[in-house]
Amino acid sequence: MPQIERSASIIFGDANIVIREPHPGRQPWEQEKAWERDYRNQVLKRVVQTLNRLGWTCAMPELRERDKRDQYGIAENFRRNKRVCSKGHLKADLELSGATITFQMFQNVNAPDRPDHDGRYQGKKEKHMPYLMRLEMERTRRRIRAYLCNVFSGYYFDEEWMRKHERKVGLGHLTAMERIQLHYDGSSHFKGLDWDKYKSGSWMGNNVKSADGKMLEHGQTVWFTDYEGRWQRGTALYNINNMWWVVTGPFSYTNECCFELYTTPPEHPRVKANQVRRRSRLESLMSQAAKKLDFKRAEVLKNILFPPNESLFMIWTDRHGGAYFGPGYSGYTNDTNQAGKYTRAELKPYLGDADEKEHLRAIPVRKAA
């Protein structure tokens, strides 16, 4: 079958497909309307036909009451360039605007931020789509792309534009290294080259010092913990200031401070490094149990946190209107139940071996009770 002579680039966005033809520019009114009519008849209607074959229902939006009084037909003209589409719980807006046709899909089965308007304004639409809906969304836009590229001689899928502008990382998109290279290409600081020269700058002293006191090198293997305290391993690539990209897999990377990176592997990589969070959580549970007069549970949690028969203290400060330190030396409270509990050894960073120093005092828990 002979192809129709039209040219356009096709790109995929967040749950959408966009068809971009070159606009002919300013023309006399009649010529401009004729071009728009041909574009609508040749391209937009073919998209609608493809959607119908795939089981979608497409209809022009209803004309609002106030638009029915439009004597110039502007509202009716806009209406002809739009379609409201649906297939089950998957919805879509099809619109021709200028030289661009956009088919935007959405749903409100899982739209935690914006369930209104059928999820039309939910951010990160693909991420929030249920699995089967995401498959249907991908199938639909790929079928539209394949059909248009077969019918029109100059239609093509602009992968290069998507890679540079969407910057998505994942299968079918950028790898982690390619994404970081795009960052280097747009950076006015470190470009990923001449590391030996760049690291010798006077400003780099504290930007290359690791958590274990060693000097980090661009491209070396490092270890760090994620938000849950699990140990991760990756390749460190310098970013800016004291921030480093860490590539943890073909399609995964993170941005970490130099003082969160270790140059040597942990002694026990399978053990979480979440002692601070663990301590805070257990102290919170112990306080809740004591508040509910569940002293048996509070005793069990205390024995998990501290050695049996260990003397415990709270730290009182005369500042902030008089208050106790919170758990982990963090925050202040006037409630002895919610105050942080510390062993004698844990008092040393603030009190040394004394029970009182400047505005601070060690208060035995038994005495406060």
Burial of 136 (0-12, 13-18, 19+ CB in 10 A): buried
Whichever domain contains 242, its CATH number is 2.30.30
pLDDT 10s digit of each residue in the chain, 369 long? 568 899 999 999 899 999 999 988 888 888 888 988 999 999 999 999 999 999 999 999 887 777 666 666 677 778 888 999 999 999 999 999 989 999 999 999 999 999 999 999 999 999 999 999 999 999 999 999 999 999 999 999 998 888 777 778 887 778 999 999 989 988 888 998 889 998 888 888 889 999 999 999 999 999 999 988 899 999 999 999 999 999 999 999 999 999 999 999 999 999 888 888 888 888 889 888 988 889 899 889 888 888 888 888 999 999 888 999 988 888 899 988 888 888 888 888 888 888 888 889 888 887 765
Residue 311 lies in a domain: yes
Tokens standing for residue 267: 């002694």
Q: Name the helix (H) or strand (E) containing 91.
A: strand 90-97
Tell me which of 233, 260, 287 is where a domain ends: 260
Tokens standing for residue 226: 């994620």
Residue 119 lies in a domain: yes
Tokens standing for residue 342: 């510390």
Measured distance CA(199)–CA(217) in Å, rounded: 9
Residue 170 lies in a domain: no
Range of the domain at 235: 176-260
Are residue 8 and residue 146 in the same domain, yes or no? yes
Tokens standing for residue 177: 């290294």
Are residue 249 and residue 280 in the same domain, yes or no? no
Tell me which of 232, 260, 288 is where a domain ends: 260
Residue 10 lies in a domain: yes
Tell me which of 113, 143, 165 is where a domain ends: 165
- Beta strand 4-13 with 152-157 is parallel
SS3 per residue for 182-241: HHHHHCCCCCCCCHHHHHCCHHHHHHCECCCCCECCCCCEEEEECCCCCEEEEEEEEEEC
Considering its fold, how many domains does the chain have in total? 3
Measured distance CA(361)–CA(269) in Å, rounded: 39
